[in-house]
Amino acid sequence: MKGDETPASQAKFALLMPHPYSRFRRLRSVGSRCKTPYLPTMIKGPQPTGALKPKIKRGLMMKCPNCGDAKLFRAFLKPVEYCPNCGVNWGEVRADDGPAWASMLLAGHLTAPVFHWVVFKTDIPTWASITVICLLLTALCIALLQPMKGLFMAIIWAKGAPTSG
């Protein structure tokens, strides 16, 4: 009967309900948020040692930040699962939106002086200058995206940040 339920039985039922905003089934606590803490996994394989600067350089060159010999990507933005030389698991290191943000920021800052010069110092029609600048921005963003992803992956790995695994 619904009216005869005790608070203890209601609490037991509430603990078994999945969180409504989660893709995964988690236990809910009574009167508070998710009781199960988020415990990200740490990077498996060789752990980073040494200075950060060479790792960043190797990441920008799209090489394995640990050994510097193997390629970091198997396709344009798909990292290799494991480095064939040193065995670092790159499949777990996720850079998410950071590389896109950084490449757009850098491309915009590099293109702004060119845009200023084209608009104010030349007699090119506005529609043509905007078209050229948009094409230049697009090309720069695409060209910078892979090195930025390598940079972000190198920093995430070197700092020992939690991964998606």
Q: Closest Cα to residue 80, out of 62, 98, 97?
A: 62
Tokens found for residue 29: 């606590």
pLDDT single digits (tens) 16-63: 555 555 554 444 444 445 444 444 445 556 667 778 899 999 999 999
pLDDT tens for each residue of 76-114: 999 999 999 988 888 888 888 999 999 999 999 999 999
In one letter, which amino acid is 39? L
pLDDT at 38: 45
Averaged over 130-155, what is the pLDDT? 95
Buried/exposed code over 52-75 (b: 16+ C-beta within 10 A; e: otherwise): eeebbebbeebbbbbeeebebbee
Most distant CA pair in the chain, distance: 84
pLDDT value of residue 55: 93
CA 124 and chain centroid, separation:
39
DSSP 71: B
Give the Cα separation of 101 and 65 in Å (integer). Answer: 21
At 125, phi and psi to the nearest 5? Answer: -60, 150
Tokens for 114, please give them.
Answer: 């060119």
Alpha-carbon gap, residue 111 to 74, rounded angstroms: 30
With tokens 């777990």, the residue in question is 92
Q: Mean pLDDT, to the nearest integer, of 4-26?
A: 52
